[in-house]
Amino acid sequence: MPRPFWTRDRLLFVLEDGSPRSHREIIAETGLSESSVWNGLRRCWEAGWILRTKSALYEGETVFRGRAGSVQTTRPYHLYMLKPEDVDSVKVNEVEFVAYAKEHLDPRGGGSKSKASRIRDFIEKNDKKAFFSIEIAEALKEHGVKTGDIMSSVRRMEKQRQVYVRGYRYHDRETPFREGYLITFIDQGKPREQALDEAIERTNTALESRASTNPLIQRVHMIRDIVFEASKLRDIIDFGFIQKKLGCADHEAERAIRRAMQLYPEIKVVKLFKLFRYFYQISMPENELNAIVEMKKNYIRIAKGRDNRIGHNWEAVPGWFIDKFTTGAKFWTQKHRTRGMDPRRITIHLIKNVGGRRTNAEVDRVWEVTPGLFSNPITYVLECKWGLVNKKQLDDFFEVLRWSKEFGADTPEGRSIKQGVNAIFAASSFNPRESVTLKDSSKISLTQYASRMNIQLLRASDFNTKLRERGIPNTATVQKKCKASRNEDEVRDVLTKVWDDSAKSLITINQLSNKNKKLFEFEEELTK
């Protein structure tokens, strides 16, 4: 009776043709069990009879999980071939095969240190810091550790309560930061609450040091600092202020605020008049918060109220008429930091404080007109005010021009407005009862006083006269247009429409009033 082949002989017989084969292929050709092939290949490799691939190869495969269905996975495997005489390594189809050596052993086979062990040792060794998963992968990349290897090991450690893992937390889920989850070691030798508290603090420190690499988190930290500073100063901060500090778009600021409130639960929000959001720190005493909220409400009533809107709308009226009737005009323009600010609104520089202004002042329009080929240009400077204007406002406008670098000049008689500069003051009305007393005790009207200072006055009635000359009804006044419009753009738009179609002027104004009905209701709410 012939003696049966040994496992070694069967393996070598299959590999005799010199073609590399995988473990599964050898099982199929020999008919041996999986464990027999594994053990036999290991002994043959150690004895120097075969070569094995230096590094594992990978391929995707579909695994059937019964009722759970099929899943896609990546399988590592090696190829084996007979060892040529006097050769310890060989390349076949760009794949390197090597003889047995300890440095070529796989971690899972009891050889070199596994990736999971390296990840665990790194976290334990750096137990005073917190790291993002990408940072851990970068630190261990020389050992073949990749980003995808980190979280599988970390989650096992988390189940064993050895590490603290932090991400963006929502109501029912948690997502990683841009650089992955934040991971730190939990000291097992300390009371659990103390160890967790220290771990959380380490993650806070890591998030703060992350600002330079992630614009979103940089904004989040700025929001936290802004709110903290405001609370210390007994104040609350509105969304517009935060956005200006961040210097970003609306949607970027909104996203940063949402993230900040997720990461720092101590940041709270209060909404005033169902529209304006103010942020504060929960540590602020309730009585102080209530007092600050009332102050903010009073500010909103003034800054966002009806009078403020109409005052800004009035500035569009003289501007529209100037654009319509001034020919050959060259308007000054400037770029402003404040978005939406009219580029033809000009900031001028002062050499002396005027009315509380230290270095700068603003005028509504500046334009130049050149009468002839050889004539010097004439400069016009416009100032607009809604409401009843008195001598004080005229003096303030004159002083701003006189002490400005652009329009003022030094003369033997003192500081004055340059020649060729014409000042124009446009108001809804000027106080007819106010008179100005001169040095000789004589009195003159406000209009005469303005004329002496070379300030031209424009009234709402002057603009309404132009509208009546166009055939627009007396009731369709510029004042009514200012009250019906939401902003300056709507004022200019309605003026253009009634000018082009005077017969429908009242209908156009009524349609505008209906469109802005909610705005009027909100302004009414502010007065309560």
pLDDT > 60? residue 184: yes
And the tokens for 85? Answer: 């005489």
pLDDT over 80 at 99, yes or no: yes
- Confirm if 397 and 423 have CB atoms less than 8 A apart: yes
Q: In what order do the strands lie in the sheet with 50-53?
A: 21-22, 79-82, 50-53, 95-98, 89-92
Question: Do 332 and 460 reside in the same domain of the chain?
Answer: yes
Cβ neighbours of residue 28 closer than 8 Å, sequence gap 6 or more: none
Answer yes or no: is 138 within a domain: yes
Dihedral sign of CA atoms 169, 175, 178, 180 in order:
positive
Residues 361 and 444 in one domain: yes
- Whether residues 430 and 360 fall in one domain: yes
Section 234-256 average pLDDT:
88
CA dist 127 and 186 (Å) reads 8
- The rounded distance, in Å, linking the Cα atoms of 119 and 156 is 11
Return the pLDDT at 303: 65
Q: DSSP E strands: which ranges in 95-172?
A: 95-98, 130-132, 163-166, 168-169
Identity of the amino acid at 430: F
pLDDT of residue 433: 84
Last residue of a domain, one of 209, 224, 250: 209
pLDDT tens digits for 338-388?
766 778 889 999 998 888 888 899 998 899 988 777 778 899 999 988 888
Tokens encoding 264: 């720092």
Res. 109: pLDDT tops 60:
no
* Tens-digit pLDDT profile for residues 463-510: 999 999 999 998 899 999 999 998 888 999 999 999 999 888 889 999
Does the pTM surpass 0.75? The reply is: no
Given a cut of 60, is residue 212 above it in pLDDT? no
pLDDT surpasses 60 at 261: yes
Range of the domain at 22: 7-106
450 lies in some domain = yes
Mark whether 225 and 292 lie in a shared domain.
Answer: yes
Q: Yes or no: say if 379 and 368 are a contact pair by the CB < 8 Å rule.
A: yes
Is residue 284 domain-shared with residue 321, that is, in the same domain?
Answer: no
| pLDDT at residue 1 tops 50 | no
Same domain, 289 and 428: no
Query: Is 1 a member of any domain?
Result: no
Question: Is pLDDT above 80 for 112?
Answer: no
Q: What is the mean pLDDT of the chain?
A: 85
Residue-level pLDDT at 402: 92
Domain end marker among 209, 232, 260? 209
With contact defined as beta carbons under 8 Å apart, do 239 and 260 qualify?
Answer: no
pLDDT, tens only, 264-309: 889 999 988 777 899 999 888 888 888 888 888 887 777 677 787 8
Beta-bridge partner residues of 378 = 369
The helix (run of H) or strand (run of E) holding residue 306 is helix 306-325
Average pLDDT of span 115-137: 90
Q: Determine, yes or no, domain membership for 367.
A: yes
Confidence tier at 429 by pLDDT (50, 70, 90): confident
Q: Are residues 450 and 507 in the same domain?
A: yes
Q: Are residues 153 and 233 in the same domain?
A: no
- CA separation, residue 112 to residues 117, 126, 165, 285, 397 (Å): 10, 22, 28, 59, 84
Residue 180's beta-bridge partner residues? 177
Query: Above 70 in pLDDT, residue 83?
Result: yes
Residues 141 and 13 in one domain: no
Q: Which two tokens stand for residue 259?
A: 């993230």
Report yes or no on 2 lying in a domain. Answer: no
> Looking at residue 117, what is its pLDDT?
86
When divided into structural domains, the chain yields a total of 4
Question: Are 94 and 145 in the same domain?
Answer: no
Confidence class for position 219, pLDDT limits 50, 70, 90: confident
326 vs 425 pLDDT, higher one: 425
What pLDDT, on a 0 to 100 scale, did the predictor assign at position 68?
61
Domain stop point among 304, 330, 345 = 304
Same structural domain, 473 and 435:
yes
The 10s digit of each residue's pLDDT in 453-475 is 889 999 999 999 999 999 999 88
| 410 and 371 within one domain | yes
| Structural Rg of the chain based on CA atoms | 40
**pLDDT tens figures, 148-182:** 888 888 999 998 889 999 887 765 677 888 788 99
The CATH number linked to 89 is 1.10.10
Which is it for the CA torsion 311, 312, 314, 318, positive or negative?
Answer: positive
Question: What is the average per-residue pLDDT within 32-53?
Answer: 88
Alpha carbons 166 and 184: distance in angstroms, whole number = 9
Q: What is the CATH number of the domain that holds 365?
A: 3.40.1350
